[in-house]
Amino acid sequence: MKHWIFRATLHVAAAALCATSLSAMAQAWPAKQPIKFVAVFPPGGSVDQVARILAQPLSQQLGQNIIVENKGGASGAIGTAAVAAAPADGYTFAVVFDTHGVNPSLIPGLPFDTRKDLAPVALIGTSAMVLATFSGSEYKTFADVVAAAKAKKNVSYGSIGSGSLGHLAMALLSKSGNVDWQHVPYKGGGPLMTDAVAGHVPLSIASVFVTKPHIDSGRMRPLAVTTSQRSPDLPNVPTMAESGFAGFDAPAWWAILAPAKTPPEVLKRMNEEVNKALKNPEIAKKLSAQGIGIVGGSPESARVFIDKQIDTWAKVVKDNGIKAD
């Protein structure tokens, strides 16, 4: 009996010591060294911009430098793999894009488990994609596009690439509406917009940030957005759900992740600081200029959101036999 009591006391003492150590680490963090934000896409894109916009206020709030390192390739999977394999000490984080929710089903043999090897810190924000057509197009509404497809006319649209969120969103619409349209993949938003404005491809689906300048110039006409709510940047443009596809929601999104075994206290502190930065009017304005609607919230809510994205797009990829470029 005494032996059992002694062992139980040891277990309690060990648990208390562990809790004290974690608490001390969280209080000391991030005193040891600069923090690295791995932006999982090349410089100049939205992921890079988001990482740099947040790095500045977070550096000030935490009293520690935050270094942004671009590690692009494989739709963000290369940079994400590097973070998954990094020491879980609170000094390495990933800034990811919506491809993070698609890659598990689109890229065979990922060197990490998307759910198990990474811990969500915060969902930064979301953005609508917009289906648009050139100014001289016969399509005046999204209903016109659906009617043409149902009439077996050759309806084609361009996206920024095979397996992109725009491609998957249109594939999901095709299945749910029992309509057919042809996908024309491009190598990024620049080439897509060049052809879309000229009418070389009748329809395009891309982020509001990429498309809006051409809408504002009058060279393109927006038909519908992919989010469940209208975009603040295009308040007069209906959603896909309003256009006959009830419940449809396909947002672009950005999030911060950490290696899975990062101490909970560190994740909690970083989450709190990210939410504080997102409430800064100057930071909100900069993100809004990128077409991003701020979300924030807890690590748990970020995990629920990301898990839903993974499940949704895995089914679309499988049902449509979609392959990456």
Task: Quickly list DSSP for 221-235.
Answer: EEEEESSSS--TTST
pLDDT at 318 over 50: yes
At 157-171, the pLDDT tens digits run 999 989 999 999 999
In whole angstroms, what is the distance from residue 241 CA to residue 249 CA?
Answer: 8
Q: pLDDT above 70 covers what percent of the chain?
A: 92
Q: What are phi and psi of 120, to 5 degrees?
A: -65, 140
The answer to whether 196 touches 134, Cβ cutoff 8 Å, is: yes
Residue 126, strand partner residues: 253, 293
pLDDT at 316 over 60: yes
Torsion-angle region of residue 222: left (phi > 0), alpha (psi -120 to 50) or beta? beta
Distance, first Cα to last Cα, the chain = 66
Single out the residue of 39, 125, 84, 82 nearest to residue 305, CA to CA.
125
Quickly state the pLDDT bin for 143 (edges 50, 70, 90): very high
Residue 74, CA distances (Å) to 30, 107, 278 in order? 31, 8, 29
pTM assigned to the model: 0.87
In whole angstroms, what is the distance from residue 320 CA to residue 218 CA?
Answer: 34
Give the chain's mean pLDDT.
91
The pLDDT value recorded for residue 25 is 53
